[in-house]
């Protein structure tokens, strides 16, 4: 049962409940808009590839620039949220995200790969910090609700990617130029973010600093107190020495590789692997994103019933089977069944990892920053690796088999996502 949110000083129980409800919907919407921006770009990658005349390997290297931007920004994300708050961090870096994509599509229209690279680098910076900040805010709302609602926030991201992919498919089918499609989509998205962040939780309701305590070392018996009470850089560095946090990061890394490979390459793999149209490639991406969304909507119930570790194991199995089906079968419709299983299996690793990193709300900001940085390294490794393999072994579909390796590794360390002892009694969010 969900615990009613406790009021802040000077706030009634009713007004506290309304504030948390408003924050819940606002965080959901911000996740939606983040996904919408990403899929608006990803759904047009076949057109981008054709406009720039890039090979498989060159396309992988191009996508790498967004990952580099995210990896450089993410280690600082926790400190950014501590200093300016989640709402300002989301707003500021959503604007950076949009600006980066505007630069990128300008480069596409000019046929300039260098301009596209610069835009994707900026896009990566905006995406990384926006992603970390909205997860930190989502974890704060989850703690206030006392319920494992993070998968539903990530379902919001998936709904956004579905919408972005759907609009992208229609735009591709209608022959709308990439720059006009994205200009309209991004303008609406940024306006939405401006509206939504006004309903985030008050800054004082989001714990980001550790209280003074006799904290043990990260390798000790009580990982809940492993981070030192100092602020800023020292707190962030301490989180990087926690074994549990690093292992959760590895779980998220495997999930991010599984999800990111599909986001980047399913559209192109459908188009090139089955000799079909760009619009069908966007449909293939849409099917993957729809399967992810459905699984994330079921995630809260599954976590409440089976717990984090069992759900993560089931997810890895579904993703593994779906990946094999998509990459090995010769028939398009059967391959798309594999895409469904792949999407279901990729759905919960990232949100469950964010919840696990946030079990102790006092250290959620720095731990989410660490876990996000490790997870986003998937986008540094994945695009060039799969692009390189595709160029040398004969296509995107067989190259995607490499994702089976991180799936197995992630499966071996899922026990790290068990709840902290101090969080076990704190409500549904921490119990699974």
Q: Which of 239, 200, 195, 250 is nearest to 407 (CA)?
A: 250
Residue spans per domain, the chain: 13-203+230-431
d(CA 7, CA 10): 8
d(CA 178, CA 109): 8
d(CA 179, CA 247): 41
Q: What is the CATH number of domain 13-203+230-431?
A: 1.20.1250.20
Q: What is the pLDDT of residues 2-53, one digit of tens each?
A: 445 555 555 556 677 888 889 999 999 999 999 999 989 988 888 888 889 8
d(CA 335, CA 88): 43
Q: What is the pLDDT of residue 427?
A: 36
Q: What is the pLDDT of residue 205?
A: 54
d(CA 107, CA 211): 48
Please identify every stretch of the chain with a pLDDT value under 70, giving residue numbers as ranges: 1-14, 203-236, 379-380, 383, 422-432
Residues 357 and 371 sit within 8 Å (Cβ to Cβ): yes
d(CA 288, CA 259): 9
Q: Which of 212, 209, 243, 247 is nearest to 360 (CA)?
A: 209
Q: What is the pLDDT of residues 122-149, one digit of tens each?
A: 999 999 899 989 988 988 888 788 777 8
């Amino acid at each position: 049962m969900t615990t009613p949110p406790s009021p802040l000083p000077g706030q009634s129980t009713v007004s506290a409940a309304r504030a948390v409800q408003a924050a819940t919907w606002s965080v959901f919407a911000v996740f939606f808009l983040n996904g919408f921006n990403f899929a608006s770009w990803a759904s047009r990658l076949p057109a981008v590839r054709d406009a720039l005349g890039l090979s498989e390997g060159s396309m992988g290297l191009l996508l790498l620039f967004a990952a580099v931007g995210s990896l450089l920004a993410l280690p600082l994300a926790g400190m950014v949220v501590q200093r300016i708050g989640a709402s300002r961090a989301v707003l500021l870096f959503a604007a950076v995200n949009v600006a980066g994509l505007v630069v990128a599509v300008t480069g596409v229209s000019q046929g300039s790969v260098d301009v596209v690279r610069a835009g994707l680098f900026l896009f990566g910076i905006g995406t990384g910090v926006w992603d970390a900040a909205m997860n930190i805010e989502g974890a704060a709302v989850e703690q206030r609700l006392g319920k494992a609602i993070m998968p539903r926030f990530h379902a919001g991201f998936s709904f956004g990617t579905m919408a972005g992919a759907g609009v992208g498919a229609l735009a591709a089918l209608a022959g709308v130029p990439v720059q006009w499609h994205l200009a309209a989509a991004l303008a609406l998205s940024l306006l939405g973010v401006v509206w939504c962040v006004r309903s985030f939780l008050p800054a004082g309701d989001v714990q980001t600093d550790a209280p003074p305590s006799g904290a043990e070392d990260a390798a000790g018996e009580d990982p809940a107190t492993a981070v030192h009470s100092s602020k800023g850089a020292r707190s962030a560095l301490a989180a990087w020495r926690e074994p549990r946090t690093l292992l959760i990061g590895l779980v998220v890394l495997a999930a991010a590789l599984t999800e990111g490979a599909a986001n980047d390459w399913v559209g192109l793999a459908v188009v090139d692997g089955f000799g079909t149209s760009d619009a069908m490639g966007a449909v293939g991406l849409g099917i993957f994103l729809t399967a992810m969304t459905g699984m994330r909507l079921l995630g809260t119930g599954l976590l409440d019933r089976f717990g984090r570790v069992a759900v993560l194991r089931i997810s890895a199995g579904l993703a593994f089977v779906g990946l094999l089906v998509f990459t090995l079968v010769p028939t398009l419709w059967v391959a798309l069944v594999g895409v469904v299983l792949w999407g279901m299996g990729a759905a919960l690793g990232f949100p469950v990892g964010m919840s696990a990193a946030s079990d102790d709300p006092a250290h959620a900001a720095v731990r989410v920053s660490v876990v996000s940085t490790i997870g986003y390294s998937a986008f540094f490794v994945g695009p060039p690796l799969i692009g390189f393999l595709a160029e040398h072994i004969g296509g995107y579909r067989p190259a995607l088999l490499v994702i089976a390796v991180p799936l197995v590794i992630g499966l071996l360390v899922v026990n790290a996502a068990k709840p902290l002892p101090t969080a076990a009694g704190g409500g549904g969010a921490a119990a699974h």
